[in-house]
A and B are shown apart, each in its own frame.
Chain A
Amino acid sequence: MLVAGFPDAVAAFLARQLRGVTVEAAPDAAAARAQLARGGWSLVLLDSAIPGGGARGVLHALSDLPPVFLCVPRAGAEGGGGGASGADADVPGVAQTFVHPLDRQALVRQAAAVLGVDGASHPPGDGSPAPREGTADALADAVRNAWERFRGPVTARVDAIEEAAIAVLEGRLTEEGRRHAEREAHKLAGSVGTFGFAQGSRLAREVETLLQGNAPLGQAEALRLTDAAVALRRELARPPSPVTAPARQQSHAGQQGHAQPGGAARALPLLLVVDDDSELAERITMEAGGRAMRTRIARDVSQARVAVSDERPAAVLLDLSFEGDRRGGLELLRELSAHVPPVPVVVLTGSGAFADRVEVARLGGVGFLQKPVSPATAVDAVSGVLHRGQQRRSCILAVDDDPVILDAVQRLLEPAGVEVNVLGDPERFWDSLEEVCPDAVLLDIDMPSVGGIELCRVMRNDARWSATPVIFLTARTEAETVQRVFAAGADDYVAKPFVGPELVTRVTNRLERVQLHRALADSDPLTGVANRRRSEELMGQLLHLAVRNKKPFALALLDLDHFKRINDRHGHGMGDEVLRRVARLLERGFRAEDVVARWGGEEFVVGMFGMDKDDAVQRLEAVLEQLRAEPFEMAGAEPLRVSFSAGIAQFPVDGADLPALYRVADATLYQAKEAGRSRVLPAGWTPERPDPAAQVDVVVVEDDPALARLLLHSLETRGYTSRWIADGREAADALTGSRPSLRARLVLLDIDLPGMDGHAVLRRLSRDRVLERTRVIVLTVRAHEAEVVQALEEGAFDHVSKPFSVPILLHRIRRAMVA
């Protein structure tokens, strides 16, 4: 059966309902014709308004057609499916006509009848939202396809925001225009996150908030709007994050799968927010949605209990500033900590009293936040906790000649999340050790041929295994044996016959220590990102890779602006929180293969393989925009706005090794600070000089001061040097002559200018051969086609029509400069 011109979901639905029928989908008329020409179809379901020609366009001049079910728009008020409606009745081959919206049950019945299959064998739904096998992937595909179809119209909404920004700068934003842009931002905020652009939703929400109400909008707001629009466009141009994470793979074969309830759909961790402050809870939900977490909100303790029994959450955010039911909240905390394994709980309270902290820690809370707290901070804390739990699965090697013991070890430890490798033959110990690389080893003391004590000594004599925890299983607990065990280098012993909890606790304790040591040795304790030592190691590898593959590598050095002031005015606790937030933003803003590290103080480093300076500038700017957009909420004070400055060096053009790249990046960072902070600069950036014979990247010839300021700001924040001239004749004079006072790589030239119009300027530049070294992009008013043609004939390199989108203009500028 071919389903033509319908959403993919319709084909998927029919495939489920019609057992034994192959269902294929064609999105448009061309695809449908191609599929039909192939032949072999038993039935076609066709939308009369299929894009690219309509039903007639599909069926025209095709012979040997299968029966066609045609779906037509509802005309008037006739009921459900069936019944041909006039205009389309004469489309050839139509066996049955359906009316939008499709009555799917009727369709299934009719299709089953035509195809001679059983259409009712599969119930349409059992009321339970538990997804079937493979559903997650199918849905992810369908959502991705839907995005391909809708990205055009959705992205076009960003235009409204940009147009509003330009209108503000030109002082002509009407109330109607403002509301229109606000609505478009609202729609974006509510939709793009669904397609996998959580950051897009956040940016759009920021725009919506800015436009809400009637507060006057000035230049600062216009620039923020433009920046947000730029970031939004950039975000929506990216491939969307998958809407559903694939189910976690079982880490090794041979183990019976401990299937998670709900399967793939529940692969995203669930955060339970227990809060009677529904506004905060909802804002946390939004924030968590952007971090690949699902959320449930419980308004009180009893709702929370129901939610926990429905599905065990990965973490709980518990607000203890509950009016009245503080005791209940503490009781809930105790219960959650008593789960096996415990449910991690981060507690929010209204007071920061030490006694409260102690109480929360005593009851098993793993995090403590004092209100007021921003949703971003709360979710940061939760993701930190989840991160802790998501470390690599620990694995152990258990050696015993008694299969019953090995079986018991496996049965006890695997449910606790430990991968257990068993070995019955101690002779093969060394091979297994190298193969498994265990995080800990369990040894039986008495085994034929080689005993556990000898194996332990062998391990301790090899540097690779000298620190791996060894735990003995022994039936002999007399002092002398115990002493021999420890003398051989063991860490612990468990007496046989062992009872479950003791073995599990002793082993998992050791494993947690191993994980912790490993993490501590590699990461910065405050922020959790890589430390200097580890990052130098990783970046060394990336650099090596760059040399071998002749690829670029970019090193960014960034430093928080006025960090000392934050510490002095708001305390070190606030400073720490800022550092943690920046670390989170950097981690989110870069790919997993990039290296994000804190090198001390307020200095961070990012190493990016395969990226040049310009790419790196864009990435960091996106992070900077995000940081600027989310001020820190302060108790009883103005929110705290934070920014950073950054310098970027690129291998090999700016340096051949890490120290050289670091020096260049550092010098560039210094320039960024000097140039006014809160910016990202590539190495080699030169500041605008007041030198009369200046050489700049871009000369903006534009008589509208507001628009010119917008352009200069956009250029400057991307590292271009620029100069503004409002008058056409003045521009022509400056750029031409035997000793021009101004040289530029590029001129942005408005056509309507005082003094001398753009065409005349262009002709002068052409006559004086300036165009041989300088490219010109003319700015024209939309729909003045003749003007564009004329300008191009006069030697312009490109044109952009007003109102324009800043990112598009910047793209054209970049292109013109490299061409």
Chain B
Amino acid sequence: MSRRILIVDDEDDIREVAQMSLEMVAGWEVIPARNGEEGLRLAAEHLPDAILLDVMMPGMDGPATALRLRDDPQTAGIPVILLTAKVQPADRRRFEGLEVAGVLAKPFDPMDLANQVSSTLGWPG
């Protein structure tokens, strides 16, 4: 089954590697977005199967974007995975209220990212 993933990250290098990784390893279709606003628009437009969302972005950050996705009935059902380089207790409490499907640590191993996403979402691997 073809999967479509939206990646929202302001860092060009990481967004690009994540995209290559998911396309090449899993063969998924990847839609890149450079910030929260673009992510919201592309999510509504493409209705992806899952959204990978960087936590620390300028402007609308990951948690804020996740809340907006929840508020829109069109995108409310799409599972969201947060990507973060820092998992502090305070941050984790903030993530808890977001009902995200999971939190993945950065840096990630490009060879393993698709596996991590699949196992977080309970997709058959």
Chain A interface residues (CB < 8 Å from chain B) = 7-9, 12-13, 16, 79, 101, 104-105, 123-132, 135-136, 138-140, 142-143, 146-147, 149-150, 153-154, 183, 186-187, 189-195, 198, 201, 205, 208, 243-244, 265, 268, 278-279, 282, 285-286, 289, 294, 296, 307, 310-311
Contacts and interface: CB of A to CB of B under 8 A. Distances in A.
**Is the contact region of chain A dominated by helix, strand, or loop, or is it mixed?**
helix
Contact of B24 (A9, A193, A307): A9
Interface stretch (B6-14, B62-70, B71-79): B6-14
B42 to A, nearest CB: 7
Contacts of B31: 101
Contacts of A142: 20, 24
A129 B118 contact: yes
B16 A7 contact: yes
B11 A139 contact: no
Contact of A268 (B16, B25, B27, B111): B111
A310 B125 contact: yes
Residue among A104, A105, A191 with max Cβ neighbours from chain B (10 Å): A191
A127 B124 contact: yes
B14 A191 contact: yes
B112 A268 contact: yes
A139 B107 contact: no
Given A129-B117, A154-B13, 11 more contacts: A8-B20, A101-B32, A128-B26, A129-B115, A139-B24, A139-B25, A140-B111, A143-B20, A147-B13, A195-B17, A279-B89
Contact of A139 (B13, B27, B110, B125): B110
A243 B112 CA distance: 10
B19 A191 contact: no
Contacts of B98: none
B107 A191 contact: yes
Contacts of A190: 11, 14, 83-86, 106-107
B33 interface: yes
Contacts of A154: 13
User: How big is the B interface, by class?
Assistant: 35 or more
Contact of A127 (B2, B16, B105): B2
Contacts of A289: 105, 107, 109
Interface string B113-125: 0110111000111
8 contacts: A7-B16, A126-B27, A129-B115, A129-B118, A129-B123, A135-B25, A294-B115, A307-B119
Contacts of A198: 107
A282 B87 contact: yes
B115 A9 contact: no
A7 B13 CA distance: 10
A10 to B, nearest CB: 9
Pick the 8 closest A-B CB pairs, nearest first: A193-B107, A190-B85, A125-B27, A190-B106, A129-B114, A9-B20, A127-B1, A150-B13
Given A125-B2, A195-B17, A105 B29 contact: yes
Nearest to A267: B111
Interface string B29-63: 10111000000001001000000000010000000
A8 B85 CA distance: 26
A146 B107 contact: no
Contact of B3 (A125, A208, A265): A125
A79 B115 CA distance: 32
A143 B86 contact: no
Contact of A183 (B32, B56, B115): B56
B20 A193 contact: no
A281 to B, nearest CB: 10
B106 A193 contact: yes
Residue among B2, B45, B109 with max Cβ neighbours from chain A (10 Å): B109
Given A127-B1, A194-B107, A243-B110, A139 B21 contact: yes
Contacts of B3: 125, 127
B19 A7 contact: yes
Contacts of B16: 7, 9, 146
Given A127-B2, A143-B110, A101 B20 contact: no
Contacts of A128: 26, 118, 124-125
A492 B34 CA distance: 68
Contacts of B2: 123-127
A125 B29 contact: yes
B112 A265 contact: yes
Nearest to B27: A125
A310 B119 contact: yes
A125 B11 CA distance: 26
A147 B20 CA distance: 13
A353 B3 CA distance: 50
A186 B21 contact: no
Nearest to A77: B41
A147 B17 CA distance: 9
A296 B109 CA distance: 12
Contacts of A282: 87, 105
Contact of B33 (A101, A127, A136): A101
Contacts of A286: 105
Nearest to B32: A101
A771 B100 CA distance: 67
Residue among A187, A205, A294 with max Cβ neighbours from chain B (10 Å): A187
Given A105-B29, A129-B125, A289-B107, A189 B23 contact: no
A192 B108 CA distance: 9
A285 B11 CA distance: 22
A303 B24 CA distance: 28
B125 A146 contact: no
Contacts of B89: 279
B23 A12 contact: yes
A101 B124 CA distance: 29
Contacts of A296: 119
B111 A146 contact: no
Residue among A127, A282, A296 with max Cβ neighbours from chain B (10 Å): A127
